[in-house]
Amino acid sequence: MHGRFRPCNVPAPVRPRSRSNMNTHKPRTKQEAHEEARTGNLNEQYTVGQQLDLIVLESPQDNNGREAFARHNDVSIFVYPNGLALHASTHIQVKISEIGDNHLKAVALAVLE
């Protein structure tokens, strides 16, 4: 019986918390990430015709062959190249053409320096 109980003056061992889990929130599943993305109303943040400066994360060849992929304030943006050579890490200017539930579609206007 003495082995199961700890004397009152001995504190319980404390496990150090993993730094990777401290003060960060990452969705555990794709479904959870999708639900988080749907909680914001993109029509309040963006308008059709609005221009944005972006950095391409995936070229059209890396994504699906038609559109490049970028992000702006954690919102996914699919960019139609419009004849421009878009590669990963290219700085571009785009015009929003469509606002979806959890993504934007845009047309590339120019490659910026």
pLDDT digits (tens, 9 = 90+) for 18-66: 544 444 445 556 666 666 665 667 888 899 999 999 999 999 998 778 8
Q: Looking at the whole model, is its pTM more than 0.85?
A: no
Report the distance separating Cα 31 and Cα 15, nearest Å: 31
Q: Are 60 and 22 in contact (CB under 8 A)?
A: no
Cα 65 to the center of its chain, rounded Å: 21
Helices (H), 1-113: 30-38, 42-45, 60-63
Which domains are seen in the chain, by residue range? 46-113 (2.40.50.140)
